[in-house]
Amino acid sequence: MRVLAVLIALAVSSWSVAAEPVLTVDQKTYSAGELLSRPDAVSITVADDASYRRSMTYKAVPLLALLPASQGSRYDTLEAKASDGFVAQIPLSLVTRGSSGGAVAYLAVEDPAHPWSALPNEKKSAGPFYVVWDHPQRSDVRQEQWPFNLASLTFVESPLHRWPQLASRSTDPLAQSGQKVFVAFCLPCHQLKGAGLGKMGPDLGQPLPVMQYITEPGLRAIVRNPAGVRTWPEQHMSGFGPQALPDAELDALVAYLKGMAK
């Protein structure tokens, strides 16, 4: 009987440890409770939240306060990994510019006692951890630079340095600017010839490059609104309207992917 009680106690304690959400920032681990009780935790209202697409109020910690300063000199990119296979490569300069008039990044922390509502078209919220931006337009912060369901933040080298196969195969300046669009908007979910860590969608470069089996109008339609091309229950790519991804950037992206298919 006593053995059974001990076993139950052990099971319950390990369950409660596993249930507490934690975020890893450059090898250091934080629990939601620990972050929420920090003296620098503030309440912020984000007028036009990129994921909820409405005004949201969060308890949040300034992201810069969580990043060890010394790392900045060696690495120029912050790798944000979500629990669902989404991995964004965020330029560190985008975060540091917040201290000199740019958009300010915050780590929003979901209080388990007051959970956030579910994301549009999803069953779950953006929690337990979510990078949000105050005045995103000041630094032109893009939609995929608001990683939600965040599990870790790690300092890394820039994507082109880590994965030279991302370099544009075309000398056309339009294709070359499309490479940056691909890294910001597509690489978080799609690898390209093995480059990147995103695992939500298929590799768009191999075995067959995407522009060898999808037409240009078809690709444009998928990027704008995948559900307008084909539908099924597990549809995880939500698409990008002209406000998130202007036509000129879509043109550049198409030129880049065409060049990569040669």
Contact positions vs ligand HEC (CB under 6 A) = 86, 144, 185-186, 188-190, 200-202, 204, 210, 214, 219, 222-223, 226, 235-237, 240, 253
Question: Using CA atoms, how far apart are residues 176 and 238, in angstroms rounded to an integer?
Answer: 25
Spatial distance between the Cα atoms of 251 and 175, rounded to a whole number of angstroms: 9
Neighbours of 132 (CB within 10 A): 25
To the nearest 10°, report the CA torsion of 11, 17, 19, 22. -160
Q: How far is the CB of 234 from ligand HEC (least distance, A)?
A: 6
Comparison of 86 and 133: residue with beta carbon closer to ligand HEC: 86
Please identify, using beta-carbon distances, which residue of 50 and 237 lies nearer to ligand HEC: 237
Buried b (16+ CB within 10 A) or exposed e, 80-115: bbbeeebbbbbbbebbbbbeeebbbbbbbbbeeeee
Query: CB of 239: closest distance to ligand HEC in angstroms?
Result: 8
Least distance to ligand HEC, CB of residue 245, Å: 6
Of the candidates 217, 56, 70, which has an alpha carbon nearest to the alpha carbon of residue 146? 56
Which CB atom, from 44 or from 229, has the smaller least distance to ligand HEC? 229
Least Cβ distance, residue 188 to ligand HEC (angstroms): 5
Closest to ligand HEC by CB, 23 vs 254, is 254
Distance CA 82, CA 147 (A): 7
Q: How far is the CB of 230 from ligand HEC (least distance, A)?
A: 8
Our CB check for ligand HEC shows the closer of 112 and 226 to be 226
